[in-house]
Structure 1
């Protein structure tokens, strides 16, 4: 059992203060969009007994990156079953995520799609660090986000009838054309045709056409709108990405708001964009992203369409199962991860924490001692700990709130 120091990601859409504040630090000069706690090669956490503070600044001896640590003793760290299933790699990636601006409109591939796409780009000789590279690894990227604050997103396609209702009344050439696609084919095929036409290089609308839709959404009275929230999202996105067709694409999608403590699962093939808030995210250990818009990064529409699912579906909210008086677990429908929330109020006694395989625990607030076969450590707000599969019998004693990522 060892402390972990996560690797920060300074993406432009991130908050300058949300994640640093958790570690008792002032806002920095650059955004901290994400903090990665995992073994992914693009940002492995650091493992050691001492760290000066938050993310990636270490002191003391014996510090090693988590990927190397797992590779050195996969059966001890992961357990024999997980090591066999994953080829000796940690199957999940735990993150803090803090979007202060909208993320890109994106989709993640299935395992089969990721393996085929990665192999094709390797054969084609696409450099690994190229902006045009879609597949950074061979894995899928289903993900679950647990809201720490009010968390806004758009996720998955509305039903064709609902799309027509949202577009009605805006009365712009662009919205009339989108409605025509869906009216002529009122199913997932018509929705895909509208989405493809909206984003593809040969047909994508002009910035002026997008601006007309944004203006129409802004002036539509809430009492006359079939979805005032959709109108507000268009206006909000237009502030950051004026003229981007992804602004209009949001009208085709389900808006979702998570209150603190709520969670949502996003499977492969589901188009989505996080808009604002702060949360804990756990996903399969992958960085494969196909982007549709709302980003200055590479957008590959054909690659995105090849993995996109346009069947109408509501956002998948997952209710936790209370597995003990202090622990509730969100079970995602994948074999890569599950997420537990642990709330301690009695610092006078040890409390068993249920879980299996390798675990990463993160202290969201408060403090506690953690005990296992690997020893005893003291966790404070922002502390993270790796518990190896061989470290049986995990117990906590303290007062605070924690999350745990582990393997089913």
Structure 2
């Protein structure tokens, strides 16, 4: 029998990575200020990159007024996770299937991908200090502000235009591979994937001195106004990435990956083996409970180009293939449901003074208030909410979300059997 209320406050943790937005410009810092994190004091010169809400072993959330962290509380009270979810997922030691985050991106994250479950297990066994868990990491990014990202390979014909028009780009690739790539636009999908893999591999393993030289030439051409029409939409991105990571091969990925500019409320899903790099903005991010990242560019951290090249799907398409289109469950609650069972996210807009009711969900959930104030109530009590408040909701618990004297916005991540 549970020894704790089915709804309770949890204490998120912050990650101060170099790419985070600084001080009060960061949504992470804003929410951390309202989350009741013991000892938290805003430092305007510090980067606040991520707010973690969950049970990941690297940085599990605390529980207000409890000595135990969230994973320990769930271990002691397994009914909060629910039998059906525990039967479907590995919830050993109170492990939730998902990890919920806020990201505040001031400069680009690495060119990266995430391994599938089998590859994660292999990498964790081989390099446990780099790949810290054996789980996969499909993830969804939901824009809180205007958001920019590189996301999946562009369609082959569009990459081919850059190959033809950007000499500094194609100079990094063997001429025979360039010819092969330009001739593959009408080949079968399987053949195109093979050629794309060969081309991308040559780019990512090009000589570093040659990369730096070609980037200097490209940047000089752009700054003198020498860009071609096809480069207009990518010029500023290239200049920005090169300022942040001078001479890095990842800058040239701007000519191969879709450049996505999203508005608040839009979302993308990235499954295993999809290359991406978040560039700028604040997002809600939900993923399977993992921190495994294979990096290949735009980062001072260790790169693992061989593994990244080997695990990519090499699916080339427009970026809308990765979009997650929300469904209106009610006029106030929108559901973002990616094509995996590990998590779903609800976006709840409750007008001033009104109440939105959520029927019981079979599994556990974590919710964060991002705007306004109000309260959450259930059969046994209620808790006040303000921007940054984070709560855990146990399985099979009906809740009411009531806005106070302003509109209340809440994001709720959950898993259901």
Which is further off, 231-240 or 32-41? 231-240
For 1:313, the equivalent position in structure 2 comes to 317
For 1:212, the equivalent position in structure 2 comes to 217
Within 5 Å, give how 1:312-351 maps onto structure 2. Answer: 312-315=316-319, 316-348=322-354, 350-351=355-356
Change (3 A) 1:240 1:180: farther
- The answer to whether the aligner puts 1:78 opposite 2:81 as a matched pair is yes
**Does the 8 A contact of 2:352 with 2:408 survive in 1?**
no
What is the distance in 2 between the residues matched to 1:179 and 1:280?
Answer: 42
For 2:168, the equivalent position in structure 1 comes to 172
For 1:40, the equivalent position in structure 2 comes to 56
**Does the 8 A contact of 1:215 with 1:235 survive in 2?**
no
Change (3 A) 1:284 1:33: same
Change (3 A) 1:219 1:333: farther
Change (3 A) 1:292 1:204: farther
Within 5 Å, give how 1:188-337 maps onto structure 2. Answer: 188-200=193-205, 205-219=210-224, 224-315=228-319, 316-337=322-343
Counterpart among 397, 401, 405 of residue 409 in structure 2: 401
For 1:20, the equivalent position in structure 2 comes to 29
What is the distance in 2 between the residues matched to 1:341 and 1:329?
Answer: 7
For 1:53, the equivalent position in structure 2 comes to none
Partner SS for 1:172:
helix
Within 5 Å, give how 1:139-154 maps onto structure 2. Answer: 139-154=135-150
Q: Which runs of 5+ in 2 are unaligned?
A: 1-6, 35-40, 185-191
Partner SS for 1:403:
strand
What is the distance in 1 between the residues matched to 2:252 and 2:174?
Answer: 10
What is the distance in 2 between the residues matched to 1:173 and 1:251?
Answer: 8
**Does the 8 A contact of 1:164 with 1:179 survive in 2?**
no
**Does the 8 A contact of 1:166 with 1:225 survive in 2?**
no
What's the TM-score once normalised by structure 2's chain length?
0.86
What is the distance in 2 between the residues matched to 1:143 and 1:8?
Answer: 19
Q: What do you get for the CA RMSD once the two structures are aligned?
A: 2.1
What is the distance in 2 between the residues matched to 1:182 and 1:404?
Answer: 47
CA positional deviation for 1:160: 2.0
What is the distance in 2 between the residues matched to 1:62 and 1:371?
Answer: 20
**Does the 8 A contact of 1:15 with 1:31 survive in 2?**
yes
What is the distance in 2 between the residues matched to 1:284 and 1:169?
Answer: 40
Counterpart among 366, 370, 377 of residue 360 in structure 1: 366
What is the distance in 2 between the residues matched to 1:173 and 1:29?
Answer: 36
Partner SS for 2:392:
strand
Q: Which runs of 5+ in 1 are unaligned?
A: 49-60
CA positional deviation for 1:164: 1.6
User: Per-residue CA shift, 1:214-238, capped at 9, x if unaligned?
Assistant: 333444556x422422222111100
**Does the 8 A contact of 2:163 with 2:169 survive in 1?**
no
Partner SS for 1:229:
helix
Partner SS for 1:205:
helix
CA positional deviation for 1:375: 2.5
User: Per-residue CA shift, 1:264-316, capped at 9, x if unaligned?
Assistant: 11111010000000011111110010001100101011111221121202321
Change (3 A) 1:176 1:234: same
**Does the 8 A contact of 2:172 with 2:210 survive in 1?**
no
What is the distance in 1 between the residues matched to 2:367 and 2:394?
Answer: 11
What is the distance in 1 between the residues matched to 2:172 and 2:18?
Answer: 34
User: Per-residue CA shift, 1:335-362, capped at 9, x if unaligned?
Assistant: 00011110011425x4212544101111
User: Per-residue CA shift, 1:304-332, capped at 9, x if unaligned?
Assistant: 12211212023211111000121000110
CA positional deviation for 1:79: 0.8
For 1:371, the equivalent position in structure 2 comes to 377
